[in-house]
């Protein structure tokens, strides 16, 4: 996702130039079409989550979380996310450092590999781990000797979640670090700073906002991953059900208030993620304007 | 490691071997190894076996539903995505920042949550579904429902790929066109749209590729009726629950071929755009 800097050639209100912009009527019509489309397809579904969750009042809403299975699902999701997000954070930092700060052959191939999880169907992402670790999988004999269970258990859910969210941090940081170049780091190193010290005091402050947003997005996606996790989890209630899988169970049992109440946790998290992103873009745009004035 | 990827020129920056080695190790274990398992399984079936699976009318119908509806949804999403991108970059109006933030919602909202929300909205007793039923249009539990879900997930791809290009269009080009006597409509049709076309096509391909594989947001609203509204990813899940790994792999391979062809197409478009318009 490219960051959206405010366009420098945006129309300034009060100074319309008929030759290089549309007439007021056309502009209002286009804004209305865009707004109607976004409200109908994106905002209404979001509102529906909270409306359906609260349709029977606050008590029914909070009762949905008292359920033992719901609590087990929330705990499992938090556990999986607590492993997947740091893992992808370290991978993202290593990948972006090596790809953005150095020139080497085979770089574009590496970038393609990093992108693969984005272009694979979530269901296929789960399927590949079944093929490796399932009862008839390629590693099944080895797992039997070691008495390990990976799919239909927590390790499989962790693996599938890591796979699906792997590109998120790397993809956000690589363009950012490429744009910043190596000048700052070279200066610090020439002045005698160690490699690690340079990374912590020069590189990290430069990328902190991109890093923060990508970690938040990775967090939201890890908690909410459905397709891949659904294939490897085995759906054992109270044991291998994550939050989105529990939402599915409740929904299919026609417990709509329960389903939407649990879903509202994830929707709330998505809202926080988007709010932080907008805030960062807003502040970031101000920073850009300040530096352009020098 | 150095054998595979050697630095082109020495650098004072430390950590090349360590970070690149770690990156390659993780990619091999998490991405390459599992994908090899899929390819190995598929090759053990052979081309004949794969074709036999794909000749099954239920499989063929699911693939038609997934590919066909993704195509239509990506087209609709590209059309409205272009308008949204134009409005968000060119105009200033109250609520612009809110609409801009909302565009990313399908990235951040879990697919299952989007799925049940869409299903409840468009169900015959839901607020939108009830209204549409009175017009004689049934959305939920029909292919139209799948279409709605696929438009939802396509929006960020189609908007975000076009936006930076609109921001980059040089005002001088539009002014030149206007000075030479073109009407605003002619400028948009003959000057602006052609230069945006590669980006629109890229967004379309991304949305299409994502649509083929989409699962969570679709299955709740689709109704999942075999031969009518059953999507290919769901059929993989069904095959897996029947322990038919061969069948599941065959469908997965065809879907992967579809999305990788899309990625390849995107790279071609971007290479063309770089040559023709000087941007990526």
pLDDT in tens, B169-200: 888 888 888 888 888 888 888 888 988 998 99
Q: Look at residue B216 and tell me if it is in a domain.
A: yes
Using the beta-carbon criterion (under 8 Å), do A131 and B105 form an inter-chain contact? no
Q: What percent of chain A has pLDDT over 70?
A: 90
Cα A105 from Cα A110, distance rounded (Å): 10
Using the beta-carbon criterion (under 8 Å), do B8 and A104 form an inter-chain contact? yes
Cα B271 from Cα A247, distance rounded (Å): 43
From B167, which residue of chain A is nearest by alpha-carbon distance? A7
Q: Which residues of chain B have pLDDT under 50?
A: 1-4, 280
* pLDDT tens digits, A184-194: 999 999 998 88
Ramachandran angles phi, psi of A23, nearest 5°:
-65, 160
Using the beta-carbon criterion (under 8 Å), do A227 and B111 form an inter-chain contact? yes
Three-state SS string across chain A, please?
CCCCCCCCCCCCCCCCCCCCCCCHHHHHHHHHHHHHHHHHHHHHHHHHHHHHHCCCHHHHHHHCCCCHHHHHHHHHHHHHHHHHHHHHHHHHHHHHHHHHHCCECCHHHHHHHHHHHHHCCHHHHHHHHHHHHCCCCCCHHHHHHHCCCCCCCHHHHHHHHHHHHHHHHHHHHHHHHHHHCCHHHHHHHHCCCCHHHHHHHHHHHHHHHHHHHHHHHHHHHHHHCCHHHHHHHCCCCCCCCCHHHHHHHHHHCCCHHHHHHHHHHHHHHHHHHHHHHHHHHHHHHHHHHHHHCC
Set of chain B residues whose Cβ sits within 8 Å of the Cβ of A102: 7, 11, 13, 16, 20
From B180, which residue of chain A is nearest by alpha-carbon distance? A19
A11, A95, A120 member nearest B91 (Cβ): A11
**What does the pLDDT read at residue A89?**
96
From A161, which residue of chain B is nearest by alpha-carbon distance? B30
Most confident of A18-22, A172-176, A260-264, B161-165: A260-264
Cα B152 from Cα B155, distance rounded (Å): 6
Average pLDDT over residues A231-245: 89
Cα B15 from Cα A98, distance rounded (Å): 8
Do residues B8 and A105 lie in contact, with contact meaning Cβ atoms separated by under 8 Å? yes
Residue B237: name the closest of A260, A230, A149 by CA.
Answer: A230
From A50, which residue of chain B is nearest by alpha-carbon distance? B117
Does position A287 have pLDDT exceeding 80, yes or no?
Answer: no
For A111, the token pair is: 């970038």
Using the beta-carbon criterion (under 8 Å), do B20 and A132 form an inter-chain contact? no
Cα B91 from Cα B274, distance rounded (Å): 27
From A116, which residue of chain B is nearest by alpha-carbon distance? B31
Set of chain B residues whose Cβ sits within 8 Å of the Cβ of A159: 30
**What does the pLDDT read at residue A17?**
59
Set of chain A residues whose Cβ sits within 8 Å of the Cβ of B13: 101-102, 182, 185-186, 189, 195
Q: Look at residue B7 and tell me if it is in a domain.
A: no
Domains of chain A plus CATH, in order, are: 24-292 (1.10.3720.10)
Q: What percent of chain A has pLDDT over 90?
A: 63
Ramachandran angles phi, psi of A65, nearest 5°:
-90, -10
**B contact test, residue of A102, A140, A193 with most B CBs within 10 A:** A102
Set of chain A residues whose Cβ sits within 8 Å of the Cβ of B234: 123
**Domain that residue B129 falls in:** 47-277
B113, B163, B184 member nearest A267 (Cβ): B113
Higher pLDDT, B48 or A87: A87
B13, B35, B152 member nearest A45 (Cβ): B152
Q: What is the mean pLDDT of chain A?
A: 88
Residue A194: name the closest of B208, B13, B280, B124 by CA.
Answer: B13
Cα B62 from Cα B52, distance rounded (Å): 15
Average pLDDT over residues A281-292: 56
Cα B28 from Cα B46, distance rounded (Å): 25
Cα B174 from Cα A209, distance rounded (Å): 35
CATH at B142: 1.10.3720.10
What's the number of domains chain B is made of? 1
From A37, which residue of chain B is nearest by alpha-carbon distance? B80
Average pLDDT over residues A146-175: 93
Q: Look at residue B173 and tell me if it is in a domain.
A: yes
Average pLDDT over residues A158-186: 92
**B contact test, residue of A128, A169, A217 with most B CBs within 10 A:** A128
Residues 6+ apart with CB under 8 A from A168: A88, A92, A214, A217, A218, A221
Give the three-state DSSP class for B131.
helix
Give the three-state DSSP class for B60.
helix
Using the beta-carbon criterion (under 8 Å), do B184 and A19 form an inter-chain contact? yes
Q: What is the mean pLDDT of chain B?
A: 89
Cα B147 from Cα B74, distance rounded (Å): 9
Residue A233 neighbours by CB distance under 10 Å:
22
- The angle at the Cα of A118, spanning A117 to A119, to the nearest 5 degrees, equals 95
Distance from CA of B174 to the nearest CA of A (A): 6
Does position A9 have pLDDT exceeding 70, yes or no?
Answer: no
Average pLDDT over residues A156-174: 95
**A contact test, residue of B113, B245, B260 with most A CBs within 10 A:** B113
**What does the pLDDT read at residue B220?**
95
- Report how many Cβ contacts below 8 Å link chain A to chain B: 327
Using the beta-carbon criterion (under 8 Å), do A1 and B104 form an inter-chain contact? yes
Using the beta-carbon criterion (under 8 Å), do A131 and B13 form an inter-chain contact? no
Cα A225 from Cα A122, distance rounded (Å): 8
* pLDDT tens digits, A213-228: 999 999 999 999 999 9
Average pLDDT over residues A38-64: 94
Q: Look at residue B42 and tell me if it is in a domain.
A: no
Compute the half-sphere exposure of residue B278: CA atoms within 13 Å on the CB side of its CA. 3
**A contact test, residue of B66, B76, B81, B109 with most A CBs within 10 A:** B109
**What does the pLDDT read at residue A2?**
45
Residue B156 neighbours by CB distance under 10 Å:
24
| This prediction's pTM | 0.89
Does position A1 have pLDDT exceeding 80, yes or no?
Answer: no
Set of chain A residues whose Cβ sits within 8 Å of the Cβ of B113: 49, 224, 244, 247, 263, 266-267, 270
DSSP classification of residue B244: -
B11, B170, B215 member nearest A102 (Cβ): B11
Provide ipTM, 2 decimals.
0.90
**What does the pLDDT read at residue A22?**
82
Distance from CA of B259 to the nearest CA of A (A): 6
């Amino acid at each position: 996702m490219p960051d959206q800097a405010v366009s420098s050639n945006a129309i300034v209100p009060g100074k319309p130039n008929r030759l290089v912009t549309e007439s007021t009527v056309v502009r209002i019509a286009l804004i209305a079409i865009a707004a109607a489309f976004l409200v109908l397809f994106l905002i209404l579904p979001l509102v529906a989550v909270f409306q359906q969750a609260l349709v029977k009042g606050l008590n029914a809403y909070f009762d949905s979380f008292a359920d033992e299975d719901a609590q087990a699902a929330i705990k499992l999701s938090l556990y999986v996310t607590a492993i997947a997000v740091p893992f992808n954070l370290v991978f993202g930092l290593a990948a972006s450092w090596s790809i953005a700060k150095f020139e080497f052959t085979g770089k574009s191939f590496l970038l393609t590999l990093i992108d693969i999880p984005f272009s694979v169907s979530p269901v296929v992402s789960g399927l590949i781990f079944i093929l490796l670790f399932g009862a008839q999988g390629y590693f099944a004999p080895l797992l039997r000797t070691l008495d390990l269970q990976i799919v239909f258990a927590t390790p499989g859910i962790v693996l599938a979640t890591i796979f699906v969210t792997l590109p998120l941090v790397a993809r956000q940081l690589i363009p950012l670090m490429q744009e910043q170049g190596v000048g700052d780091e070279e200066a610090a190193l020439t002045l005698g700073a160690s490699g690690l010290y340079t990374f912590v005091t020069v590189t990290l402050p430069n990328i902190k906002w991109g890093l923060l947003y990508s970690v938040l997005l990775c967090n939201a996606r890890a908690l909410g991953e459905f397709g891949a996790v659904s294939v490897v989890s085995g759906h054992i209630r109270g044991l291998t059900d994550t939050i989105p899988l529990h939402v599915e169970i409740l929904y299919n049992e026609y417990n709509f208030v329960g389903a939407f109440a649990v879903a509202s946790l994830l929707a709330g998290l998505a809202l926080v993620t988007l709010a932080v992103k907008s805030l960062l873009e807003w502040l970031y745009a101000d920073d850009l304007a300040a530096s352009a004035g020098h | 490691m150095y054998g595979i990827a050697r630095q082109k020129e020495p650098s004072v920056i430390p950590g090349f071997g360590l970070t690149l080695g770690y990156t390659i190790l993780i990619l091999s274990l998490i991405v390459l190894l599992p994908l090899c398992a899929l390819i190995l399984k598929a090759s053990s079936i052979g081309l004949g076996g794969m074709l036999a699976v794909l000749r099954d009318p239920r499989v063929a119908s699911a693939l038609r539903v997934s590919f066909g509806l993704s195509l239509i949804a990506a087209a609709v999403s590209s059309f409205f995505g272009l308008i949204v991108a134009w409005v968000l970059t060119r105009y200033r109006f109250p609520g612009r920042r809110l609409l801009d933030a909302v565009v990313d919602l399908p990235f951040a909202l879990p697919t299952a949550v989007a799925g049940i929300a869409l299903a409840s909205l468009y169900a015959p007793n839901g607020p939108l579904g009830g209204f549409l039923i009175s017009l004689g249009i049934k959305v939920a539990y029909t292919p139209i429902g799948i279409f709605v879900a696929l438009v939802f997930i396509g929006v960020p791809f189609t908007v975000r790929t076009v936006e930076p290009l609109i921001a980059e269009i040089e005002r001088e080009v539009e002014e030149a066109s206007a000075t030479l006597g073109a009407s605003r409509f002619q400028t948009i049709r003959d000057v602006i749209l052609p230069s945006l076309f590669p980006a629109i096509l890229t967004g379309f391909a991304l949305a299409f590729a994502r649509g083929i594989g989409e699962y969570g947001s679709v299955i709740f609203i689709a109704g999942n009726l075999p031969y009518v509204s059953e999507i290919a990813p769901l059929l993989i899940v069904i095959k897996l629950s029947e322990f038919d790994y061969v069948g599941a792999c065959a469908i997965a391979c065809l879907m992967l071929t579809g999305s990788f062809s899309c990625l390849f197409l995107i790279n071609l478009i971007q290479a063309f755009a770089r040559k023709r318009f000087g941007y990526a």
